[in-house]
Amino acid sequence: DSIARGNTVPTLTLSCTSDDARYPALAPTIVDVNRADSDVAKITRTTVELLTINEGSSDVASFVLDSEPVSDVVINFTASQASLVDIVPSSVTFTSSNWNTPVDVAITAVDDNTKPASSAVVVTATAVAPGTAYDALTATVTLALVDNDVPAVVFSKTSLTVTEGGSDDSFDVSLATKPLADVELLASIPGQLLLIPDSTTLMATWTPDNWDTVATITVAASDDLIDEADADTAIGFTVAA
């Protein structure tokens, strides 16, 4: 048959019947038979071992049983980084009727705003079939996720015009992606300029909770009594994370 029972040693008892009264009186003969089972309880992945999935896209992994189960086998699918992928369905059931039909599982790379520390994900198929050879067996498929999030500081302007004793100018600054830890924006301010409010070097701080907050920075020219020609100057920014 196609059921994985394991190697067994069944006992075969031989007895005889006959009209000759001498034969039924003979003691039965007992024979031990070594039965080698060629069927193996195993979950097989029928697709490639490594799937490369772009963020926001999907691919399919397929699984099947190698032998007929003696009772229903539930396969649960889990991911090593659950927040990075969606798995549909999250579980399937193999029976004595469908055990040799591969089941497709759709895996989607979640399109988020975070650059993960690692884009390698392992999806594990785990069998639940108490009291059978399939219980707790596993199979895996490895995912290489291609992330589309590029960490960057985004400035709304790259050029400002300010007038000494007159008009100031401002710009917005934000993060392009959600950081894994706090991010500080530091400024190196030339003497001819002032930042409003305050002229400290720390311009903004973002955390993983408020990373999408926009900071507005206003720049003014220092008002002094020195007659100087119009000039271009630059504010230098660095990021500490």
pLDDT attached to residue 8: 53
Whether residue 200 has pLDDT greater than 70? no
pLDDT attached to residue 104: 97
Q: In whole angstroms, how far apart are CA 21 and each of 15, 18, 24, 28, 195?
A: 14, 7, 6, 15, 119
pLDDT attached to residue 145: 93
* Of residues 69, 66, 40, 44, the one with CA closest to residue 129: 69
d(CA 62, CA 104): 4
Q: Pairing state of beta strands 169-175 and 215-221?
A: antiparallel
Question: pLDDT tens across 23-63, in order?
Answer: 655 566 665 655 555 568 999 999 999 999 999 999 999 99
96: left (phi over 0), alpha (psi -120 to 50) or beta: alpha
Per-residue confidence at 222, pLDDT binned at 50, 70, 90?
A: confident
Per-residue confidence at 230, pLDDT binned at 50, 70, 90?
A: low
Q: In whole angstroms, how far apart are CA 90 and each of 123, 126, 138?
A: 11, 11, 15
Out of 11-15, 75-79, 164-168, 229-233, give the one with best mean pLDDT.
75-79
Contact in structure between 72 and 88 (CB atoms under 8 Å): no
d(CA 209, CA 178): 8
Which residues, in sequence order, are bridge partners of residue 29? 14
Number of Cβ within 10 Å of residue 36's Cβ equals 7
- DSSP, collapsed to helix, strand or coil, labels residue 240 as strand
Per-residue confidence at 226, pLDDT binned at 50, 70, 90?
A: low
Per-residue confidence at 189, pLDDT binned at 50, 70, 90?
A: confident
Question: pLDDT tens across 76-122, in order?
Answer: 999 999 999 999 999 999 999 999 999 999 999 999 888 887 789 99
What's the full length of the chain, in residues? 241
Across the chain, mean pLDDT equals 85
State mean pLDDT over 204-217: 92
Where is pLDDT greater, at 4 or 181? 181
For the whole model, what pTM was predicted?
Answer: 0.67
pLDDT attached to residue 203: 84
pLDDT attached to residue 49: 92
118-127 core/surface letters (b: 16 or more CB in 10 A; e: else): ebebebebbb
* Of residues 118, 110, 109, 113, the one with CA closest to residue 149: 113
State mean pLDDT over 204-222: 90
pLDDT attached to residue 122: 97
Contact in structure between 85 and 119 (CB atoms under 8 Å): no
d(CA 226, CA 10): 108
